[in-house]
């Protein structure tokens, strides 16, 4: 029998798992390297799509709900961006491929510049991938 494929994951689900899973996804030996690569890069790309920035405190009791809320906002903004550039990607894997391609073409350059400005202004605070 063939191995069953894992169902498509949403962008916000990947981001939530990256920031909240215990033990940390990147410290877990049970996560395959390909999945780890996908999680790390998607979490990074999604940070570009939070124009107001964010402040996450891992010791806050509302940490998980804040991560989920920010993940949903980032997912919505990312999917809108992808759609406006002709991509129909919705699942995490296809969205990652589309975002990587757009980065190679320079379509994310402005978002990356804005992200670095937000970091320099201190608008982005929290654990990063």
Domain residue extents for the chain:
11-125
As a whole number, the mean pLDDT across the chain is: 88
pLDDT given at position 3: 62
The pLDDT of 115-127, averaged and rounded, is: 88
Helix (H) or strand (E) holding 98: helix 92-104
DSSP assignment string, 53-83: -EE--TTSTTHHHHHHHHHHHHHHHHHHHHH
Looking at the predicted structure, is the pLDDT value of residue 88 above 90?
yes
């Amino acid at each position: 029998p063939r191995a069953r494929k894992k169902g498509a994951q949403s962008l916000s689900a990947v981001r939530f798992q990256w920031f909240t899973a215990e033990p940390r996804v990147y410290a877990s030996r049970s996560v395959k390297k390909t999945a780890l690569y996908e999680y790390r890069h998607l979490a990074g790309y999604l940070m570009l799509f939070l124009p107001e920035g964010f402040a996450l405190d891992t010791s806050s009791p509302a940490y998980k709900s804040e991560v989920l809320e920010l993940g949903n906002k980032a997912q919505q903004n990312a999917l809108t961006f992808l759609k406006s550039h002709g991509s129909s990607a919705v699942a995490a894997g296809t969205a990652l491929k589309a975002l990587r391609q757009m980065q190679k073409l320079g379509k994310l350059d402005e978002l990356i510049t804005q992200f670095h400005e937000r970091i320099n202004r201190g608008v982005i605070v929290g654990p990063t991938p």
